[in-house]
Chain A
Amino acid sequence: MKKTLSIMLSMLLLLGVLAGCNNAGSSSASAPGGSEGGQPAAPSATAFKIGGTGPLTGGAAIYGIAAQNGAQIAVEEINAMGGIQFELKYEDDEHDAEKAVNAYNKLKDWGVQISLGSVTSTPAVATSAETFADRIFALTPSASAAAVVEGKDNVYQMCFTDPNQGSASTQYIFDKKLGNKIAVIYKNDDVYSKGIYDTFTAKAKELGLEIVSATTFTEDSQTDFSVQLTEAKNNGADLVFLPIYYTPASLIFQQAKAMDYFPKYFGVDGMDGILALEGFDTSLAEDVMLLTPFNADATDDLTVNFVKKYQEAYGEIPNQFAADGYDCVYAIKQALEAAGCTPDMSAADICEKLVATFPTITFNGLTGDDVTWAPTGEVSKSPKGMIIQNGAYVGMD
């Protein structure tokens, strides 16, 4: 009895290992073969190998999977067009810096030529140091911490940096006179949230906006916000700034309503996705304002096409991370074309060419028009002010 059980368990284990291999294999194999035009799969010597790490499992998996899916759609489209061919490979980093470096090393063994960095900021800080040392060009879809690009000439960002988001939000609130007394609730153990908070308060001081309450929470205490909301309410805040992701934000809206507190809310790009939250009562988010680079409800051809393909392939409305992943691949394609790179070049040669080219290109994508990059790696694009009305995003400008 005991023996059969142990044999069964070990078989199960073996099955798990094999299944794991399968998964990893299919994601890379489907890239060249996935072209709908029915062309023969491109051999790897004629395709650029691009790879990235992101949380594909664990609590932050929603972001990693979205970026991977978005990039995958772009790769399939580009491969179907002919011309430049890509092979895409994502490795799981579980939103952990140490695992991200291991995942990145796996990509290097695979022969990655251009990196998509890491999806989330904490791992990205670790992997960007590696890509800098290895001279592999990296464009991260969504790691927005300033430390990701700081001092590294070959690391670029597709998303706004946190300082930019913070000061843009303050400017927006000030210009539109959205609130007089501001409360901020931010996530203390997240560089993203903390980074935005820091620049938000610095800019608010400069402009003379009054911050009446600043409270925090952490990964471990992101369920109960009664204290933070009570403090904001008692201090008479009429606008609550939420530089956080939408999951805790949905709880904040619900708990504020339960205590009859109805301030205005202002969010950043992490708030994007709240309307796609399954089962969420969208009336709770009525009149919530946010600055975001991507809007899945926009009616331009590019967005409509992307959202349609994404829904067909993955059965979900894409969020901003998916759009960032998609844009990354197209931006790399544009830069490769402009620099005249070929897939047989070494990663270091491609890196030198792209470093010289990236600051010169102007990119139009899902997350912004006329996007440019500074030689430091920071992106310059204008955030769109959105407000939620009747369960849909509406442009504010």
Chain B
Amino acid sequence: MTFLSYFISGLSLGSIYAIIALGYTMVYGIAKMLNFAHGDVIMVGSYICFFAVSRWNLPPVVGVLLAMILCTVLGVTIERLAYKPLRSAPSLSVLITAIGISYFLQNAAQLLWTSNPKVFPSVVGDGSVKFFDGRLSISVITIVTIATCVVIMVALTWFTSKTRMGKAMRACSEDKGAAQLMGISVNHTISVTFAIGSALAAIAGVLLSSAYPTLMPTTGSMPGIKAFTSAVFGGIGSIPGAMLGGILLGIIEIFSKGYISTQLSDAIVFAVLIVILLVKPTGLLGKQITEKV
């Protein structure tokens, strides 16, 4: 029974990682950049939803939509001001800029909303489904998160493979120059990618804060890094890989806490990551792309 309850804990933690990782992997897959500010956009999304629901007493659905809209605006603005001028710069410059944006967002949030933690109102209810006379329970938020993950995963896969915009995205990801020659507006495509990534961040923020309701300006940073790890684990750029990586990472983390040591859990998680990358350098579901010269 302990095993099952750990498994469920791992699943709920992993589903949170997975939903954040989807946004990471989406932006990486298309724009080929690691958007380290993703975790902080998540934090902003949580704050917006918090203010909408707790302070202005709007219904949760409106709060989530508002968070999505404002995060999209924020994501596109960041892309426009910080990343677009660096489109032809070395990827290291873009990476450093992303880290800078991450710090900027954290400190701006602290200035605007203070560093005092706030408790996020659960927007999906805090009930749980119980099995075996209540010895085992799955919270509603876990079920909602996993369902949302699957929906987003399927929708993104469909979007990138079937729609015109999605095809343009894949073209950009393979070869920006060639895509431009084919009449695709690379800048516009990447902006749309960021818009979608940021809207996903808002959803992830709401779910993250509903599951772990303490909201602070640094709320997004550690889950962001863990989600980045999951994305690498599952094969960065691969949408199903992000989900698989997230859930596996959560389960490994909880099992190593439960059965080995609470002190060593993070070390074990990252050791597993290293082993996986040694055996399969592109991650679990990553594709080997050979650079043609």
Query: Which residues on A are within 8 Å of B, measured CB to CB?
Result: 2, 5-6, 9, 57-62, 65, 188, 215-221, 223-224, 226-228, 230-231, 234, 247-248, 250-251, 254, 258-260, 277-281, 316
Q: How far is the CA of A59 from the CA of B217 in the complex (A)?
A: 7
What chain A residues lie within 8 Å of B212 (beta carbons)? 223-224, 251
Q: Which of the 9-residue segments B119-127, B170-178, B184-192 touches chain A?
A: B119-127
On chain B, the residues within 8 Å of A219 by CB distance are 222
- Identify which of B33-41, B70-78, B110-118 touches chain A: B110-118
| A58 neighbours in B (Cβ, 8 Å) | 110, 115, 218
Q: Is B5 an interface residue (CB 8 A)?
A: yes
Are B263 and A277 in touch, CB under 8 angstroms?
no
Q: In the complex, are the beta carbons of A230 and B258 less than 8 A apart?
A: yes
Q: Hey, which chain A residues are within 8 Å of B134, CB to CB?
A: 260
Q: Mark B202-235, 1 if CB is under 8 A from A, else 0.
A: 0000000000111011100011000000000000
B60 CB, nearest partner CB in chain A, Å: 14
* B180 on interface, CB distance cutoff 8 Å: no
> How many Å lie between the Cα of A6 and that of B86 in the bound state?
12
Q: Which residues of A contact B6 (CB under 8 A)?
A: 226-227, 230
Residues of B within 8 A of A227 (CB): 6, 9, 254, 257-258, 262
In the complex, the answer to whether A279 meets B118 with C-beta atoms within 8 Å is: yes
**In the complex, chain A residues whose CB is within 8 Å of the CB of B9:** 224, 226-227, 230
Nearest 9 pairs of A and B residues by beta carbon: A279-B119, A61-B115, A226-B9, A223-B212, A227-B257, A59-B218, A280-B119, A278-B118, A215-B262
- Name 16 A/B residue pairs within 8 A (Cβ), A-sorted: A62-B114, A65-B114, A188-B263, A221-B222, A221-B257, A223-B212, A226-B5, A227-B257, A228-B257, A228-B262, A230-B258, A247-B216, A248-B214, A277-B116, A278-B119, A279-B118
- Chain B interfacial positions (CB closer than 8 Å to A): 2, 5-6, 9, 12-13, 50, 54, 81, 85, 107, 110, 114-121, 126, 128, 134, 137, 139, 212-214, 216-218, 222-223, 253-254, 257-258, 262-263, 265-266
Closest chain B residue to A280 by CB distance? Answer: B119
Q: Using Cβ atoms and an 8 Å threshold, which residues of chain A touch B262?
A: 188, 215-217, 227-228
Contact in complex: A251, B117 (CB < 8 Å) = no
Chain B residues with CB below 8 A from A259, complex form: 5, 137
Count of A-B contacts with CB under 8 A? 107
Residue of B nearest to A228 (CB): B262
Residues of A within 8 A of B117 (CB): 62, 247, 250, 277-278
Closest to B106 in A: A58
Cα separation A234 to B3 with both chains bound (whole Å): 12
Question: Residue B214 contacts which of A2, A230, A251, A258 (CB distance < 8 angstroms)?
Answer: A251
A220-B266, A224-B13, A247-B214 in contact; A5/B85 too (CB < 8 A)? yes
In the complex, are the beta carbons of B115 and A231 less than 8 A apart? Answer: no
A68 to B185, CA, bound (A): 52
The answer to whether A250 and B85 touch (CB under 8 A), given A57-B107, A61-B110, is no
Select B115's contact among A6, A62, A216, A224, beta carbons within 8 Å: A62
Contact B115 A65 (CB under 8 A): yes
